Amino acid sequence: MGVVGLALVAAGLLVWAPWGAGEPAATRLDIAGEIATHDPALVVGDEGEDWYVYSTGDVRVGLGAPQIRRSADGGETWEMVGTAWDAQTRPEWVYEAVPGVENFWAPELYEHDGTWYLYYAASTFGSNRSVIGLMTSPTLDMDAADYGWTDQGQVWASDPATSTYNAIDPGIVEDADGTPWMAFGSFWGGIQMIELEWPSGLAADGTEPTLLASRNTPTNAIEAPYVVERDGWYYLFVSRDKCCSGVDSTYSVAVGRSQSVTGPYLDSWGNDMRYNGGDELLSTRGDMIGPGGQSVSHGYLATHFYDGANGGAFRLDIREPGLDGRRLARRLDPGRGSATSPDHSRPYAKEHHDHHYPASRFPCRSCGPAGVWVVR
C-alpha cells in the first residue's frame, strides 16, 4: 500500500507518523464494469498495457479458482475474463490437503526475473487446516501464446494439531539482498513471516515462522499482511476487525514499520504490532463500509469494501496517487468515520474470506523527494 511515514527530529528523537495534518486526500478512480471483487491483487500495466485484478474465487465460477478481471482503459472499466485454472489444470493436491475446500482465497501476484508468481490460500471457514500454494506463468497476458499457470505445489501449511497460526493470506516482499519473504496469517496466532527462495518461490530450507503482529485478544482479529520496503524501512499493513459481514463489517487497515523485514514493527507511538500496536489508516466512511484486503501496484491502492448503498455488496476500490511529493494523509477519504469496534462476544463469521494485498515489485513511482508515498 502506498503509504509511508514522515520522519521528524524532535528533542533528539526520531519520530514518524503515517499521516500529516491538513493534507489532500487520495483521488478515487471512477471505476465501472464487473467490480464485485474480494481481496483484490492489482497489477497496473505500463502505458498501453492492460491492468489486471486477481481476487478470491467463487465456488460457482471456475471451481472456486481465483478470478481474473482486466481493464484495457487504465483501470476505469473492468471485465471478468476468467479464472486462474479449470478442471483440467486445478491443483488436485489441495483437495486432499484441505478436505472440504470450495474456493481459493486472497491471491497474491509477484513478478521476479520474468516470471509471475501466483500465491493463493486454501482453507475452510473456522479452521486453521490451511495451505498456501503457488503457480507460475511467464506472463499475465491471457492472449499470449505462452500464457498459462503451472502448479508448483505447496509453499506452507498449518494444521490444528500442530500449528498455532493459520496459513492463509500470503504477501511477498524482497529484502535489500533480494531474498524473498512471505508474510501470512489470520486470527489464531496472528501474522507470521517465513523466508522463501528464488527461483522456486517456495519456502527456504529450515525456515521457521517469525511473529510480526498480533491483537492479543481472544479472537485476535488480524489478517491480510502486506509488506512494502521504502528507503531502508519495511512497512507492514494489516486488515483488522470483522470482515465479510456486509454492512455489519468493521474491517479497517493499520500499519507499522521496521528497519528489519522480520520486525519488530512499531506504530508512530512506538507500540509494537506484536502487542496490538498499529496506526489505523482506513476504515468505514459513509457507504464505504469495512475497507481492507489492500494491494498496491505502481502506487495505485486497491481495496475491497462493502457498499452500504447497495445492500452491503462487496466491490473494488482503486485510488490514484499524485506526483506532487505531498505525504499521504491519514484520511484517505476526507471526513471518514471511525471503524466500529468488533464484537468479541460471538464467533467470527465469514460469508467470504478476505485478505490482502499482494506486495508489488514495481518501484515507487509516486514518491516525493522526501522518499514518501503520496496522494493528491
56/41 Cα distance (integer angstroms): 9
25/221: higher pLDDT: 221
Can you read off the three cell numbers belonging to residue 13? 528523537
Tell me whether residue 174 is one of the annotated catalytic residues: no
pLDDT digits (tens, 9 = 90+) for 308-335: 999 999 999 998 753 222 233 333 333 3
Listed residue (246, 240, 210, 243) closest to 225, CA to CA: 240
pTM value is: 0.81
Instruction: Find the catalytic residue in 58, 108, 169, 223.
Output: 223
Tell me whether residue 354 is one of the annotated catalytic residues: no
Listed residue (87, 41, 84) closest to 65, CA to CA: 84
* Residues of the chain above pLDDT 90, percent: 65
Q: What is the CATH number of domain 6-320?
A: 2.115.10.20
Q: Kindly tell me if the per-residue pLDDT of 336 is higher than 60.
A: no
334/308 Cα distance (integer angstroms): 18
On average, the pLDDT of the chain sits at 80
Q: Are 169 and 131 in contact (CB under 8 A)?
A: no
Q: Is 7 exposed, middle or buried (0-12, 13-18, 19+ CB in 10 A)?
A: middle
Q: Kindly tell me if the per-residue pLDDT of 351 is higher than 80.
A: no
Q: Kindly tell me if the per-residue pLDDT of 338 is higher than 50.
A: no
**Cα separations (Å) of 353 from 151, 253, 292, 318?**
23, 16, 11, 20
Q: Are 324 and 260 in contact (CB under 8 A)?
A: no
Range with the poorest average pLDDT among 16-30, 248-262, 274-288: 16-30
Is it true that the peptide bond before 199 is cis, omega within 30 degrees of 0?
yes
- Count how many Cα atoms sit within 13 Å of the Cα of residue 49 in the half-sphere of its side chain: 12
pLDDT digits (tens, 9 = 90+) for 175-225: 999 999 999 999 999 999 999 999 999 999 999 999 999 999 999 999 999
pLDDT digits (tens, 9 = 90+) for 105-155: 999 999 999 999 999 999 999 999 999 999 999 999 999 999 999 999 999
Q: What is the pLDDT of residue 18?
A: 56
Q: What is the pLDDT of residue 10?
A: 25
Q: What is the pLDDT of residue 214?
A: 97
168/184 Cα distance (integer angstroms): 6
Instruction: Find the catalytic residue in 39, 58, 241, 317.
Output: 39
Coil, strand or helix: which one is 19? coil
Q: Are 188 and 244 in contact (CB under 8 A)?
A: no
